[in-house]
Amino acid sequence: MHQTAQVRLLLADNLPDYRKAMRLVLALDGYLVEEAASVSAAIGTLKTSPPDLVLVDLRLTDDTDDQDFSGLEVANVARDLRVPCIIMTAYPSWQAAVLALRHRGSESLAADFVSKGTAPHSMLDTIRQVLSRREVLNDEVPSSSPGIGPAVPSRGLFLDSDRRVVWLDGEQVDIYEQPYALLEYLYRKAGTVCSRSELIEAVYGSNVTAYDMDKALEGLVRRLREKLGETAANPRHIMSVKGRGFRLDL
């Protein structure tokens, strides 16, 4: 059992059997779990007793409706309450992931996006990563501008998705548009390898041909590395993983 006692999770899913199975897995790992079977129940719990993290099914109302994104309603409330949210689905697609994670003028709705078919240890790893990122933000050294924005670490890479601001070793770095979108996605997946097609989909959507894909991504990675003061030959944060893609090391 891991040291996760007293960490409260809200598990929102409309399938009783799935909730039962997940509750067992989470409880064995030391989490305190509350359940919700509907959008209204999940939002009610969020507002009356906010948990440390929310696990919500993307199709929270109707699993047979491929247009059901009702879980995003819960994610939206969680975001407003500053509660990290992981969106789950039995029908994963990058379109849904982009909808949940991409920045479009406001803070992203979810901290991560996982398939309900993933192995239990993978789900638990994702939960730990999201919780650990939250702990890092809460424990970092205060920024040089007291009272303005979140705490900023004096070393390493830090991204504030609320304000779309990036700091490197305590200094703000101006990164905008597509390089920022790439960095934000890598940041949310920090420590894990992201495939080339996954990154292109996250930044550009689905309207990029296979011919354009590698060239577009290489150019984007090069621009982002320049912003962070590193190169492909001497990377510090953006690591190339041969044959697989890229990984962000914090």
pLDDT digits (tens, 9 = 90+) for 78-95: 988 889 899 888 876 655
pLDDT digits (tens, 9 = 90+) for 197-209: 888 888 877 665 5
187 and 115 within one domain: no
pLDDT digits (tens, 9 = 90+) for 131-159: 876 655 454 444 444 334 455 666 788 88
What is the count of structural domains for the chain?
2
Q: What is the residue whose two structure tokens read 């901290």?
A: 111
List CB contacts of 99: < 8 A, sequence separation 6 or more. 69, 72, 109
With a cut of 70, say whether residue 240 has pLDDT above it.
Answer: yes
108 and 53 within one domain: yes
* pLDDT given for residue 44 in this prediction: 94
* pLDDT given for residue 171 in this prediction: 84
> Would 1 be classed as within a structural domain?
no
CA distance readout (Å), 151 to 142, 145, 156, 222: 4, 9, 13, 29
Higher-pLDDT residue of 219, 111: 219
Residue 129 belongs to domain spanning: 8-135
111 and 151 within one domain: no
15 and 129 within one domain: yes
